[in-house]
Amino acid sequence: MMTAMPDSHMSHDTVLSAHSWADIDLSAVQHNFRRARELACGSRLCAVVKANAYGHGAPRIAAALHQVMQPADLFAVVTLREALSLRQHIAHRPILLMRGPLDANEMAVVLQQDFFWVLHSAWQLSLLQQAWQQGIRPAGGKLNVWLKTNTGMSRLGMPMSEVPAIWQQIKELDADAELILMSHLACADDLQESLTPRQLQNFKTLADELGLKDGGHCTLAASAGILNWPQTHFGIVRPGIMLYGASPMIGREGPDEGLQPVMNLKSRLIAVNQVRAGDTVGYGATFTAPQDMQVGVIGIGYGDGYPRHAPSGTPVVIHAQGKAWDAALVGRVSMDMLTVDLTGIPAQAGDEVLLWGQAWGASLPADRIARLCHTIAYELFCQITARVEYRYR
Ligand SMILES: *Cc1c(COP(=O)(O)O)cnc(C)c1O
pLDDT, mean of each 10-residue run, the chain (393 residues): 46 71 98 98 98 98 98 98 98 97 98 98 98 96 97 96 97 93 97 96 98 96 98 98 97 97 98 98 97 98 98 98 98 98 98 98 98 98 97 97
pTM metric for this prediction: 0.95
Q: What three-state secondary structure class fits 181?
A: strand
Question: Of 148, 171, 244, 283, which one is the catalytic site residue?
Answer: 283
Cβ-contact 55, 383 below 8 angstroms: yes
Q: What three-state secondary structure class fits 184?
A: coil
First to last CA, the chain: 5
Q: What three-state secondary structure class fits 228?
A: helix
Measured from the CB, is residue 223 less than 6 Å from ligand 1?
yes
For residue 195, the CA-to-ligand 1 centroid distance in Å is: 17
Cβ-contact 274, 294 below 8 angstroms: yes
Q: Name the strand (E) or helix (H) holding 380.
A: helix 377-382
Q: Which residues contact 270 (CB under 8 A, 6 or more apart)?
A: 19, 297, 298, 299, 337, 349
226 burial via Cβ count (<10 Å: 0-12, 13-18, 19+): buried
Q: Which residues contact 356 (CB under 8 A, 6 or more apart)?
A: 261, 263, 264, 265, 364, 365, 366, 368, 369, 380
What b/e readout covers 186-197, taking b as 16+ CB neighbours within 10 angstroms? bbbbeeeeeebe
In ligand 1, the atom with minimum distance to the C-alpha of 46 is 10
> What CA–CA distance (Å, rounded) separates 36 from 48?
12
Q: Which residues pair with 316 in a beta bridge?
A: 327
Torsion angle (degrees, nearest 10) of CA 24, 27, 28, 29? 80
Cβ-contact 58, 80 below 8 angstroms: no
HSE-up of residue 61 (Cα within 13 Å, Cβ side): 30
109 burial via Cβ count (<10 Å: 0-12, 13-18, 19+): middle
pLDDT at 14: 61
pLDDT at 10: 54
pLDDT at 101: 98
Q: For this structure, is 323 an active site residue?
A: no
Comparing CA positions, the residue from 210, 366, 202, 260 lying closest to residue 36 is 260
Residue 132: other Cβ atoms inside 10 A: 17
> What CA–CA distance (Å, rounded) separates 366 from 61?
18
Q: Which residues pair with 219 in a beta bridge?
A: 182, 236
Q: For this structure, is 378 an active site residue?
A: no
User: Which parts of 18-123 are beta strand (E)?
Assistant: 20-24, 44-48, 74-77, 95-97, 116-119
Q: What three-state secondary structure class fits 341?
A: strand
Q: What three-state secondary structure class fits 178?
A: strand
Measured from the CB, is residue 248 less than 6 Å from ligand 1?
yes
pLDDT at 13: 55
Measured from the CB, is residue 238 less than 6 Å from ligand 1?
yes
Cβ-contact 18, 304 below 8 angstroms: no
Pocket test residue of 43, 98, 243, 252 for ligand 1, highest count of atoms within 8 A of CB: 98
